[in-house]
């Protein structure tokens, strides 16, 4: 009984993904043979080469004339925009993009293919990665290379941290179209190339992990090709589809095209039972959390209580190509808790489908030690929704007591229990960066969010944290229902007036998640109407509010935030090295104060 576990593009190519490493641990603990292929990192290493860039340029420039001919055939003076086909519109934006690129991007066309492999080697180099002038140039060159790679598929765009297409919709029809039409799908040819090596494994069970919307088209294309060419049981897991069970139940054709089954919510227990089913040891009805097709209908098996963290095997990186990740130092995801101990923020559904439980501190420390000894990894990202002050204290004390030399970062709520002493203890134990939910500068909005923290003490905690040598990363967002322009400005002012302690920030736009508290009591938040999204696989709803910023207003304040912060922060290094894993590594190397003071140019 052999399992092939696949992690498809697109995901930021910096580190192995936790979901896969954790599943491997469970399967190996149960003595199953397992092969891992991180096709995401293999893909980036394949495309960021001279040959691939040259091929992409040739392909794009060759298709330009063909596109022009086809546009000419459909174009007439009498037609208005609505009369043209989707294909015409797509071809028009693609043609325009390629034409402009050819006219304006001499560096990309002439020089970049020859030096892209140098950029990749800088990303992996223990010396040059940590020299900003090399790293910034490498990151910029990678962006430009990915623009070239995307040209023949424009407006599809693969980036370092994203894959998107403004014409793609989260509907079954659109997903099917993108997965089956090679001209829309920049991953198709790559999968055709790697397919023989996957089939050669002769796996009985092939599990594909889809955790983000950026993995949908590539992940499902891969699933579709495997379903067509392999006799293995093809199963999809990961947390993206867990939120969409209601939509999946209505779509038996999804299962006919893409997979034999789909695992929802926490997968560690179901994957082992699924392996038993594939082996013929149990009937499919006994595999918990499973969706599959029976008599042309989608059947859902009963859910099971997930494994407790203490029952899980340590994550297993054997088989991951650790030298392929675009970093000199792997930052490994790790968990000390699942779910969120607070669970009350009205906008949040991060904890959906997760039972709250924490890992015994000794098990956690052993896991960190094992990973350090076995793979030489000393940098960790805690992917817990939020680490509590009590756990942080226990963990920090234990790390110091054990003499473990590690660095890490984690999410946390700005609770007053994160005292000066605790933050100093944590810093001493290796906490180099904290991701805080600062959210908003408006006290009214903060109350509606129900974060459960003292609004007026948040900045004091950030100051104590920075004084302790911890880099403060703040999450903020715009567009909470009924938020006014003035309230959004308060958030911008809060950032601009505190650049010394809010070391960097990540901003987002509010979306109404399908499993949030907010959508349970919409009237309490000024929401007058919730509309089912036309995109059946969208994890959020559209909505109307009685007052507050509209879509345009939200977009304007978000842009204003960028403009004003660019001035207030004054070209800081973090804006150029962009990715939080990267500035975490810089903080580990140089310290929070030095990185905070570093300006570019």
Closest distance to ligand SF4 from the beta carbon of 435 (Å): 10
Let me know: does 232 contact 204? Beta carbons within 8 Å.
yes
SS3 string, 455-499, reads: HHHHHHHHHHHHHCCCEEEEEEEECCCCCCHHHHHHHHHHHHCCC
Closest CB to ligand SF4 among residues 329, 385 = 385
- φ and ψ of 347, to 5 deg: -90, -5
Nearer to ligand SF4 (CB atom), residue 180 or residue 343 = 343
Q: Where are the beta strands (DSSP E) in 85-137?
A: none
Any idea of the CA torsion for 289, 292, 298, 302, to the nearest 10 degrees?
-20
Task: State yes or no: residue 345 binds ligand SF4 (CB under 6 A).
Answer: yes
Q: In the structure encoding, which two tokens stand for residue 258, read together?
A: 């893409």
- From candidates 95, 255, 342, 576, binder to ligand SF4 by CB under 6 A: 342
User: CB-wise, 49 or 343, nearer to ligand SF4?
Assistant: 343
Q: What backbone phi and psi angles, to 5 degrees, belong to 465?
A: -65, -50
**Least distance from ligand SF4 to the Cβ atom of residue 415, Å:** 10
Q: How far is the CB of 522 from ligand SF4 (least distance, A)?
A: 18
Q: Does 340 bind ligand SF4 (CB under 6 A)?
A: yes
Q: Which of 129, 178, 190, 351 touches ligand SF4 by CB under 6 A?
A: 351
Measured between its terminal Cα atoms, the distance across the chain in Å is 57
Binding mask 193-212 for ligand SF4 (x = CB under 6 A): --------------------
What are the structure tokens assigned to 172, written together? 């079954």
In the complex, minimum distance from the CB of residue 524 to ligand SF4, in angstroms, rounded to a whole number = 17
With a CB cutoff of 8 Å and minimum separation 6, the contacts of 11 are: 17, 40, 211, 212, 214, 215
Closer residue to ligand SF4, CB minimum distance, 233 or 413: 413
Helices (H) and strands (E) in the chain, counts: 23, 20
CB of 518 to ligand SF4, least distance (A): 11
Spatial separation of the C-alpha atoms in residues 498 and 305, rounded to whole Å: 44
Minimum CB distance to ligand SF4 smaller for 213 or for 343: 343
Q: Minimum Å distance from CB 165 to ligand SF4? A: 29
For residues 262 and 340, which CB has a smaller minimum distance to ligand SF4 in the complex? 340
Helix (H, G, I), strand (E, B) or coil at 368: helix
The residues, ordered by sequence, that sit 6+ positions from 187 with a Cβ below 8 Å of its Cβ are 8, 9, 43, 217, 218, 221, 222
Size of the site for ligand SF4 (CB under 6 A): 12
Nearer to ligand SF4, 333 or 386 (CB): 386
Structure tokens at 361: 């501190």
Q: Which is nearer to ligand SF4, 437 or 539 (CB)?
A: 437
Q: Does 350 bind ligand SF4 (CB under 6 A)?
A: yes
Task: For residue 58, give every residue at least 6 positions away whose Cβ sits within 8 Å of its Cβ, in sequence order, or none.
Answer: none
Choose, by CB under 6 A, the member of 205, 257, 348, 461 that binds ligand SF4. 348
What distance in Å separates the CA atoms of residue 204 and residue 234, rounded to the nearest whole number?
9
Closest CA to 523 of 545, 503, 507, 506: 545
Q: Nearest distance from residue 433's CB to ligand SF4, in Å?
A: 17
- Of 94 and 413, which has the nearer Cβ to ligand SF4? 413
According to the binding rule CB under 6 A, does residue 464 interact with ligand SF4? no
Specify the stretch interacting with ligand SF4 by CB under 6 A; choose among 193-201, 231-239, 284-292, 342-350: 342-350
Angle at 492 between CA 488 and CA 498, to 5 degrees: 145
Among 90, 243, 251, 413, binds ligand SF4 (CB under 6 A): 413
Q: Do residues 521 and 490 make contact, with C-beta atoms less than 8 angstroms apart?
A: no
Question: Residue 391 belongs to what H/E stretch?
Answer: helix 389-402
| Contacting range for ligand SF4; rule: CB under 6 A; set: 64-72, 122-130, 160-168, 348-356 | 348-356
Contact 218, 194 (CB under 8 A): no
Q: Based on CB atoms, which residue is closest to ligand SF4, 179 or 348?
A: 348
Task: Give 211 or 247: the residue with its C-beta nearer to ligand SF4.
Answer: 211
Question: Nearest distance from residue 338's CB to ligand SF4, in Å?
Answer: 11
Nearer to ligand SF4, 385 or 581 (CB): 385
53-83 CB burial, b ≥16 within 10 A, e <16: bbbbbeebbebbeebeebbeeeeeeeeeeee
Rule CB under 6 A: choose which of 343, 370, 397, 555 binds ligand SF4.
343
- Nearest approach in angstroms of CB 118 to ligand SF4 is 40
Q: In Å, how far from its chain's centre is CA 282?
A: 35
By CB under 6 A, which span of 45-53, 238-246, 339-347, 578-586 interacts with ligand SF4? 339-347
Binder of ligand SF4 out of 16, 270, 437, 441 (CB under 6 A): 437
**Min separation Cβ 351 and ligand SF4, Å:** 6
The neighbouring-strand residues paired with 470 are none
- Using the structure block, give the residue that is written with the tokens 């859910």: 303
- Nearest approach, Cβ of 305 to ligand SF4 (angstroms)? 21
By CB under 6 A, residue 514 contacts ligand SF4:
no
Decide whether 350 or 359 has the Cβ nearer to ligand SF4. 350
- Binding mask 369-408 toward ligand SF4 (x if CB under 6 A, else -) reads ----------------xx----------------------
Does position 185 interact with ligand SF4 (CB under 6 A)? The reply is no
Judged by the rule CB under 6 A, the positions of this chain that interact with ligand SF4 are 340, 342-345, 348, 350-351, 385-386, 413, 437
């Amino acid at each position: 009984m052999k399992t092939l576990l696949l992690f498809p593009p697109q995901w930021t190519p910096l580190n192995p993904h936790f979901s896969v490493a954790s599943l491997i641990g469970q399967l190996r603990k149960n003595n199953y043979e397992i092969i891992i292929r991180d096709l995401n990192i293999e893909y980036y290493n394949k495309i960021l080469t001279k040959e691939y860039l040259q091929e992409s340029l040739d392909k794009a420039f060759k298709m330009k004339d063909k596109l022009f001919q086809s546009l000419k055939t459909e174009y007439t003076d009498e037609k208005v925009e609505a009369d043209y086909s989707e294909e015409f519109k797509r071809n028009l934006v693609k043609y325009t993009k390629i034409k402009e690129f050819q006219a304006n991007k001499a560096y990309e066309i002439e020089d970049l293919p020859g030096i892209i492999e140098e950029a990749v080697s800088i990303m992996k180099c223990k010396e040059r990665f940590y020299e900003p002038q090399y790293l910034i140039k490498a990151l910029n060159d990678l962006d430009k290379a990915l623009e070239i790679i995307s040209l023949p598929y424009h407006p599809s765009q693969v980036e370092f941290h994203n894959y998107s297409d403004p014409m793609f919709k989260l509907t079954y029809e659109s997903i099917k179209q993108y997965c089956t039409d090679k001209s829309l799908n920049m991953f198709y040819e790559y999968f055709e190339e790697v397919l023989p090596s996957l089939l050669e494994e002769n796996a009985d069970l092939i599990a594909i992990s889809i955790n983000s919307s950026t993995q949908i088209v590539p992940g499902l294309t891969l699933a579709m090709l495997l379903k067509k060419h392999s006799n293995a049981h093809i199963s999809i897991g990961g947390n993206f589809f867990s939120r969409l069970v209601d939509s999946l139940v209505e779509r038996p054709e999804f299962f006919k095209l893409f997979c034999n089954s789909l695992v929802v919510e926490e997968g560690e227990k179901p994957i082992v039972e699924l392996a038993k089913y594939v082996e013929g040891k149990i009937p499919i009805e006994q595999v918990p959390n499973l969706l599959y097709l029976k008599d042309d209908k989608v059947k859902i098996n009963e859910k099971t209580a997930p494994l407790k963290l203490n029952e899980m095997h340590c994550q297993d990186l054997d088989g991951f190509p650790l030298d392929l990740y675009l970093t000199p130092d792997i930052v490994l995801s790790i968990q000390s808790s699942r779910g969120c101990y607070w669970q009350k923020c009205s906008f949040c559904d991060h904890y959906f489908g997760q039972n709250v439980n924490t890992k015994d501190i000794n098990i956690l420390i052993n896991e960190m030690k094992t990973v350090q000894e076995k793979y030489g990894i000393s940098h960790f990202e805690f992917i817990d929704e939020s680490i509590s002050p009590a756990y942080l204290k226990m963990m920090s004390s234990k790390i110091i007591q054990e003499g473990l030399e590690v660095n890490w970062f984690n999410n946390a709520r700005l609770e007053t229990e994160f005292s000066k002493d605790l933050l100093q203890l944590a810093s001493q134990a290796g906490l180099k960066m904290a991701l805080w939910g600062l959210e908003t500068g408006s006290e009214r909005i903060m109350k509606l969010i129900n974060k459960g923290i003292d609004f007026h003490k948040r900045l004091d905690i950030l100051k104590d944290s920075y004084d302790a040598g911890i880099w403060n990363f703040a999450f903020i967002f715009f567009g909470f229902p009924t938020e006014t322009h003035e309230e959004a400005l308060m958030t911008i002012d809060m950032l601009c007036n505190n650049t010394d302690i809010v070391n960097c920030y990540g901003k987002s736009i509010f979306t109404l998640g399908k499993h949030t508290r907010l959508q349970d009591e919409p009237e309490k938040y000024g929401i007058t109407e919730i509309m089912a999204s036309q995109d059946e696989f969208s994890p959020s709803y559209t909505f109307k509010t009685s007052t507050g910023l509209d879509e345009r207003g939200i977009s304007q304040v978000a842009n204003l935030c960028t403009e004003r912060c660019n001035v207030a922060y004054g070209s800081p290094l973090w804006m150029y090295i962009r990715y939080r894993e990267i500035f975490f590594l810089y903080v580990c190397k140089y310290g929070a104060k030095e990185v905070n003071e570093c300006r570019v140019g």
